Amino acid sequence: MFSYTVKNDISVNENSGNNTMMITLTPNQVREKFGPMFCHQLLVMTDENNGIAELHEQCHARGPIEWDHMNRRRAGGALIYAKTEGTTMTMLAKIGSYPIHFGPSDTELGGQALEAIVVKGDEVHTSWVGAAGAGVGVAACLAQAPGVIRTEYASEEDLKVGGARICRSTVILPKYEKITFGIDDTDTKEGGATWVLALKCGEACKIDGAIFLEMRIIQLNPKAPEKTTNCTGSVITFAIKPEKKDELIAFVKKFVEEKTMSKTTGICYFTGIRLPDSTYARRVKTELLTKEDAISEAEKLGIPYIDSANGKGRIGALGALLWADGGVEAAGLYGESP
């Protein structure tokens, strides 16, 4: 039988003077109440030094995620930017609570909104608002997504979803950070492929508290004289719980250096959501750079190398890292239209 937890503390609504009882449900309790829904993943990574967060949401189908994307953008709130690829939306948001432009969907108002992101210890509280069918999304769908710890509802009214109702929920998730590794020069003319090693590294990571997000192949300058053939570097990106970051860095270094076929492998990493701006990103695709160029730029940007080789692979490792968020253009020649 369905049951839910009522928190012991009672919050007071200062506007009305009425006491409201906070209701807290686990994902399993939400699923029991509403039945299985469609959110396959909800993940949040924070960068508190810069006051921003990155959220990943994966849905069962394109339709809901595309509608949510456009309505959240229109509604404003904590959302800065959203990008949807297939059934997955990536959101960049501000930490804190912000006004929303909310109501029936029209040219100025959105029908669903991300209202706030608040970091509390090792948890992140994400607050959502949805009208009508979008209320089902925030109260019943997001709340049972894999990765959710629990969801808080201000009152029973927020559990009455659909129709013409407006629902609010605070979906609570574990706090992760984002870490990206640049890797290059793991192959030789006799064998190996950097992208294969990088992808195997990401998939081999079984650290509790690390989530392998993606791997990208970055086209570097094909005129580099000491390339193997295609002249590409690779990046792998993880969500990592802060207390597990050192363990992940050690794992990536050990895995790559044990599997590489080259004596000049380069590995570097960056912790944070917004990669630093650097002209090196353009130059690594258009110029012939030296290891000294790479080391100097990495020091300026605060990007550490963790490889033992201290070789020419550092050139492409840094270049690949700086293109990690470049989309499909990262895989092409500089200026090449996708």
User: Is residue 15 a part of any domain in this protein?
Assistant: yes
169 and 192 belong to one structural domain: no
Is the per-residue pLDDT at 9 higher than 50?
no
Q: Of 74, 144, 71, 155, nearest to 108 (Cα)?
A: 74
Same domain for 120 and 131?
yes
Give the end of a domain, one of 113, 139, 174. 174
Q: What is the mean pLDDT of residues 142-147?
A: 96
**Does any domain span residue 42?**
yes
- Residue 286 contacts by C-beta under 8 Å, 6 or more apart in sequence? 221, 334
- Digit-coded pLDDT (tens) for 288-313: 999 999 999 999 999 999 999 999 99
pLDDT tens for 243-284 read: 999 999 999 999 999 999 999 999 999 999 999 999 999 999
- Give the pLDDT confidence of 309-334 residue by residue, as tens digits: 999 999 999 999 999 999 999 999 99
248 lies in the same domain as 157: no
In a domain? residue 217: yes
* pLDDT-derived band at 115, boundaries 50, 70, 90: very high
Please provide the DSSP assignment of 16-65 as one string.
T--EEEEEEE-HHHHHHHH---SEEEEEEEEETTTTEEEEEEEESSHHHH
Dihedral sign, CA of 323, 327, 329, 332? positive
Cα–Cα distance measured from residue 33 to residue 3, given in angstroms and rounded to the nearest whole number: 8
**What is the SS3 assignment for 14?**
coil
User: Percentage of the chain with pLDDT > 90?
Assistant: 84
Specify the 3-state DSSP secondary structure of 190. coil
Strands 123-131 and 112-120: antiparallel
195 is a domain residue? yes
Average predicted confidence (pLDDT) for the chain: 92
Is residue 152 located within the same domain as residue 185? no
Q: Are residues 190 and 170 in the same domain?
A: no
Question: Do 166 and 187 sit in the same domain of this protein?
Answer: no
- Residue 71 and residue 141 in one domain: yes
Name the one residue in this structure whose structure tokens are 């800065």: 80
| Among candidate residues 125, 151, 174, the one where a domain is terminated | 174
323 found inside a domain: yes
Per-residue pLDDT, 196: 96
What is the distance of C-alpha 32 from the center of its chain?
28
Whether 150 is covered by a domain: the verdict is: yes
Whether pLDDT at 56 is above 70: yes
Last residue of a domain, one of 174, 193, 217: 174
- Does any domain span residue 338? no
**Segment 151-184, tens digit of pLDDT:** 999 999 999 988 888 999 999 999 999 999 999 9
327 and 297 within one domain: yes
Same domain flag for 94 and 154: yes
pLDDT tens digits, one per residue of 175-200: 999 999 999 999 877 778 999 999 99
Q: Is the pLDDT of residue 12 over 70?
A: no
The predicted model scores a pTM of 0.91
Partners of 19 in the β-ladder: 12
* CATH classification of the domain holding 304: 3.30.70.2200
- pLDDT at residue 15 tops 60: no
Residue 337 lies in a domain: no
Tell me which of 88-92, 203-207, 230-234, 287-291 is least confident. Answer: 230-234
Of 14-23, 223-232, 255-264, the one with minimum mean pLDDT is 14-23
What is the pLDDT at residue 230? 78
Give the range of the structural domain holding residue 15, as residue numbers without chain letter: 5-174
pLDDT at 4: 35
**Cα(63)–Cα(58) distance, integer angstroms:** 12
Residue 20: pLDDT band (50, 70, 90) is: low
Evaluated on CA atoms 286, 290, 294, 297, the torsion sign reads negative
Query: Within this chain, do residues 163 and 232 fall inside the same structural domain, yes or no?
Result: no
- What pLDDT sits at residue 224? 83
Read off the pLDDT of residues 67-102 as tens digits, 9 standing for 90 and up: 999 999 999 999 999 999 999 999 999 999 999 998
* 201 and 232 in a common domain: yes
Of 224, 181, 179, which Cα lies nearest the Cα of 318? 181
| Residue whose tokens read 């701006």 | 277
Contact 116, 96 (CB under 8 A): yes
Question: How many domains would you assign to the chain?
Answer: 2
The answer to whether residues 63 and 25 belong to one domain is yes
